[in-house]
Copies of this chain bind each other. A is one copy, B any other.
């Protein structure tokens, strides 16, 4: 997605080798017009995949996934990073490691929202180590539903997330793939996948 690459070059900030901050438009302050366009991109990619629900993880996936779900006209479901008193019935969980925060969450989804007839599109802002994406796929698997695809806004292709996701059988669509973040510079992979 050319526009997203341009935005990363314009407003992203390299905060050290491997570290890209996009808090001005993606994961703290959010450009909702851009999110709507991202929603359309994923719609075009997955509109024929029979998606019945979009699943993301709180918090930075939610705004993106909301516009994807809107474009696909299906409900949005977000996994919680803690099990709250508000959840009842069967709760599906999976451990997800956050390398940024240096801790492991037990991510949870109420089982009643996923069933064997569901075809789930996973959405997240970043794919780096793949822990969040594989955790979501694990939860979907436990429910008997099918993961129909995974839509990622920014893939750090120099980290093992995509390989791990593909080995788990996921169809990964990343709008932007970054091959290196080094010496203050972001380099993109030649093709978008």
- A78 contact from B28, B35, B75, B109, Cβ within 8 A: B28
Residue of B nearest to A109 (CB): B28
Identify which of A31, A35, A66, A85 gathers the most chain B CB atoms within 10 Å of its CB. A66
- For A24, list chain B residues within 8 Å (CB): 113
Q: Are B66 and A84 in contact (CB under 8 A)?
A: no
- Give A72-104 interface residues, CB cut-off 8 Å to B: 73, 75-78, 80, 82, 84-88, 100-101
Residue A58 at the chain B interface, CB threshold 8 Å:
yes
Q: Which of A29, A35, A76, A113 has the most chain B CB atoms inside 10 A of its CB? A: A29
Contact A30 B76 (CB under 8 A): yes
Docked-complex contact A100 and B78, CB < 8 angstroms: no
**CB–CB A30/B77 < 8 A:** yes
Report if A23 contacts B (CB, 8 A). yes
Residues of chain B within 8 A (CB-CB) of A113 are: 24, 28-29
Q: Are B66 and A21 in contact (CB under 8 A)?
A: no
Q: How far is the CB of A15 from chain B (nearest CB, A)?
A: 7
Q: Is A36 an interface residue (CB 8 A)?
A: yes
Q: Does B86 lie within 8 Å of A33, measured CB to CB?
A: no
Is A100 within 8 A of B86, CB to CB?
yes
Please name all residues of chain B whose beta carbon is closer than 8 Å to the beta carbon of A15 when the two chains form the complex: 88
Does A147 belong to the interface (CB within 8 Å)?
no
The answer on a CB contact under 8 Å between B35 and A87 is: no
Q: Which of A32-83 contact B (CB under 8 A)?
A: 32-33, 35-36, 53, 58-59, 62-63, 66-67, 69-70, 73, 75-78, 80, 82
Report, nearest first, the 5 A-B pairs whose CB atoms are least far apart: A58-B59, A62-B62, A30-B76, A63-B66, A32-B70
